[in-house]
Structure 1
Amino acid sequence: MQKSILVNKFLAFLTLLLVVSVHPIHAQVTEDFFTSGNLKLDQKDYKGAIRDYTKAVLTEPNNPDIYFNRAYAKSMLADYVGAVQDYSKAIAIFPNMPNAYYNRGIEKGHMKDYKGAVQDHTTALQQDPDNADIYFSRGIAKSAMNDHAGALQDFNKTISINSETVNIYFNRGIEKAYLKDYQGAILDFDKAINDDNNNADIYFNRAIAKNGLKDYSGAITDFNKALSIQPNNADLYFNRGVTKSYLNDQAAAIKDYTKAIELNPNTQNAYFNRGIENGRLKDYRGALLDYNRAIERDPSNADIYFNRGIVKNYLSDKQGALQDFNKAIALNPNTQNAYFNRGILRRELNDYPGAILDYTKAIEQDGTNADIYFNRGLAKSYSLNHAAAVQDFNKAIEMSPSNADLYLSRGVSKSAIKDYAGAVKDFSKSIELNPNTQNAYFNRGIAKSFLNDHASAIKDFDQAILQAPTYADIYVSRAVSKTALHDTTGAIQDYSKSLELNPQNANAFFNRGLGKANTKDYTGAIQDFNKGIALNPNNAELFFNRGIIKNQQKDLYGALADFDKAVAINANLQNLLFNRGLLKVTLKDYAAAMNDFNRAIQQNPSDADIYYNRGLLRALLKQNSLAIVDYNKSIELNASNANAFVSRGILKAQIRDFQSAIKDFNRAIEMDKSNAEAYFQRGLAKFNLIDKTGACVDLALARDLGHPDAAAQMEKRCKP
């Protein structure tokens, strides 16, 4: 979590130089108006002065002094644009006028045209190189442009010419602080305090510099002194709160932030920083309220959204946290922590592709953090990309070779890619580093079971049960090995023990349901899924898998209801939208099916099957050109799908591109010589190319392979 420190920069008053002498004049009336204007200027009657100078200009339009003094009067009325225009007119008449450039530079500074101000001050210095005030003013303009090195040079020059320039040491100290020369800044602030020991701004900025040197106690002393001078200065309380936070005095920091807010509810970052301290004290709801207020005042601050996302995650508002991380990244794409934390959150939300993208972005910004590689490996593992996960775990282990969890996780992924021997080695290393890791024994047992070393696997499960006798999943896994050793009774006992220990375990019903489904006990599987759903109605996988079984049993509307429920819970569940789209095609709800295929492609843009099935739907809807585009994409992603070539060939034949269609049918037959549809369609295409012999050969092959329409076509077209 980041904090912001407000540096209160005090800019010395820049004196505008006033010309009271005149150039030789050509008419007495001009001198009278000019003199009258000067008198009114002395009396601070700026509007009256401007009127008189304007009359003087009418009779002597080429007198630069009149424009110069009128510009000064306009500046006193905050008409900076008008002042710049008059100084420019004076310069046009008499270019060798350093004070005009100097004053025009000041006016440009008022207008935030700092680049123009620097240019004018530079020209003034060319004409008057020993003028300390011009160097000082140019330094202030450079500072406003964040050219702190340039500002420091100008302030140094100011001091070399006139060390008595008002506020020069104070302003130079600020520039040194910006450049992280905190010790030099403190020395300058010390000199400034010698000249003015009752100036709260100097103590304030010296405290900031002391913070830079981690002299937090000294900084607090200066903040206290400044507050004794300005007891109602919200910025002082805010910055003292920051310093107390550095000292880990959260309660005192919160008190100061609260006082700052009381004095000025718009104090920059006060709510934000108080939210940080509330979070550190685990008052997450208080922190959330503060971050909400901070965002109201500064809706473009990425750090606030990031920190609010952290708090929402602590409060189990996962979606709210995700939205805040999204906003933080949109505002600042270089926020590594936001990518890392969003990756963790996306992994928790089962958005593994999104999590991987986030971890990758975080690694691009810092490739030396083992935790990021570890978490990306987990996300890849959960998304079943275990080979890539192993690579990430390898990288993390290089950086942190004594972390038992890394070996455990790598072992899990090695098991998933069927490197069971490698997995056993990793689990053994994890056990060596941490003998009390129950998951290591558990997972090593699973790996051994895949190596058909079920007797040894059971020993590991036994050890895992000794460490965690109430962990139901171990009994389930041991049951699998007992089944492999034909200990059916023992297996049943373990399944029963699992449910006895945790009858509320929805996952146990889910996995048993999958097992029953694999044995084609669909009725029993649905019963288990029903029980799982009763226990956890927010588990999308339960609804999804129950829907699949209902679909297999031709309970189409029951399947659709389950798919709809799964989508409502987690629309990002892999293959969910695709399967619902297939079902909607069967139900002839083509518009809804198309929407599901479109969404599925957005989630999985590299899934050839989705493009293929969307192509079939588009062909059904007579959207042939779009269907061909989908078939092309499907083939690009997976060139081994013979049916995609057949389907594309059919559409090409419909647009009478028979040669290209035959090429597609040829490709399909090369991949699948028993594809009756490919022979049948190729035969029809050959008829259109007047290749009756070849066509009839293909139809005969299609007939022999069981194509229902081939015989009729032969009867119709292949008679001698």
Structure 2
Amino acid sequence: MRKILLLVLCFASLAFARAQYNIDRLIRVGQSALYYEDYVLSIQYFSRAIASKPYLYEPWLGRGEAKFRLDDYVGAEADCTEAIRLNPYVPVIYELRGLCRIKQNNFSGAIADYDKTIEYEPDNKNLWYNRVLCKLEDKDYDKASADLDVMMRRWPKYSQAFRLKAELCLQQKDTLQGSQYLDKSLELNPYDGEAWATRSMISLAKSEWKDAEQQLSKAIHLKPSMAGYYVNRALARYNINNLRGALADYDKAIELEPNNFLAHYNRGQLRVQVGDDNRAVEDFDFIIRLEPGNVMAIYNRALLRERIGNLRGAIADYSTLISQFPNFWVGLSNRARCYRRLGMTAKAELDEFRIFKAQNDKSNGYQPRWSKKKIRDVRKRSEINFDKYNQLVVDDKAEVDHEYENSYRGKVQNRHLDVEYMPMYQLSFIQYNNGVKSYVASDEIVDRFNKEMAEKSDATIHNASLPLQITCNPKSLDEETSKRYLVMIDSLSDMIQKSKDLRGDKGYLLKRAVAYCVTQNYYDAENDLSAYLQIDSTSVLAYWQRAVCLTMLRTFDASMGGKPMFSEQKAIDDLAKAISLDGNNAYLYYDRANLYAASKNYGKALADYDKAISIDGRLAEAYYNRGMVRVFAGNVEQGVADLSKAGELGLVDAYVAIKKYGNKKGK
């Protein structure tokens, strides 16, 4: 009995260990999917881990981050709150929840989270910076000022603290001291875009338009994705008669923020000035869809509709205004004029009688011409004054756009790479799709494998008949697609377990490995590929895909701050073995070149890219990456030529790279 009991306990402990291993693997794979920006898929993995062990905080935190990436700030905050309940001693959870609360304008809640995080990490100046921003948003200027005083003492070379102090002074109308703090901030860091934007606010307030335009140009050069900077520079350009430049700035602001009110409204006003009435109507249409009760936009659209001959539309707009402002005599006069043009004399006379009866000494329907002074005036956004209908709009309160610091680990948006090469080619079930419409990624060995599998396809296996594809940079999965592939993995696993001849059924092992890759589970994919190579040590496809898996695992392990499980050389060796078995496969040379390029072994990288291009002259990614390698090896002219060829073959990103690196010619 004692022996039996001991065996039972041993098996129970083994089962528990395996269950724990599976949960750890689920969490790890979820983190990998999160790192590679497959957020919906990562939520699937974390949800599975939560269903199995809801008392672990890691999957709650991981799922919260994935939801944060998908802009589900309410769900992300709820997951973070549960993670904190399970483990209140992990500071990064408070930081993530603070960011979720900021996105929901719950600044007091965010401050409480940053207070807690700073208890654990008092020397993290990014946390102090975000907390000050929250206090400024919460109008708690005294505490914000006290925090900034501490920051300036502790980090005397931290320029952003001086810049925030300057903003605080400006909000308290202390322009002189604000300028002094800004000077100090720019002295410490002349490449701070927000500091230049803050400096421009002083110039705009003083109507120093040329200075403001120059300062905003510097801010835009340093932070080109901030829509508010373009809106403010457009105002400065407008006031120095650079209408073309102002319109270009509004176009760019709308490209960055399609719902930007000021950009649409003011672009509409500028289009009126340059006679582009039809497109001005489009801008005011957008504003009214955004804010149906915006009477100034409705009035402007009414005038424009009347001008372009849409009289019934103009009457509708004038009627909307008159219903809100019964004594709006100009509107009544304009509507009467529209009625007369449509032959609706009776309605026109009713409007004209209302004006005659109510107005004694006012001129009917007269609109003064724009003077040089009036044309440069602006009005506040909330101001309703029909005499100012043709003026540009500014925010009620001038503020600088801020970017909050994200310092917690695993943040995808902080993975700023010095060089962005096109990714590796790999096996997948998802067709090649990266913008090169005319190119079909194919290989004879892949086609042969698909033909063999089609002959023995088992209809009971979900998606088992899907052929292997060759792809580059496969797209992220949505919820439905990710579930379909997870079901496919379960079905293939069942088939493999029941197989009486795994050597004959090894194709299912390879397919499962590819399915694991599609679902970002490179750990199990690598295990399957290694098992496949134990059965067939001459498989080009297995060596190729395993090299991809090893590379992805190594990249992810490095991002988590740990020691990579596999060396880069192991992936290179797998590709070398595959090339020895199939020396006419351009994708193998391309992938190996990518590994050499990543380690800055430019000579070997160029040799492999040359070989890939000699085999397949339409491989756009090879031209792109070879161009990047040449640029960084100092041969800019040939590098730009390669990038140009990649763009010619359909890679739009190549033109972005040309713009970035092409001006280095001859330097």
| TM-score, length-scaled by structure 2 | 0.44
Structure of greater Rg: 1
Of structures 1 and 2, the one with the larger relative CO (CA 8 A, separation 6+) is: 2
Q: Give the number of the structure whose residues are more often helix, by fraction.
A: 1
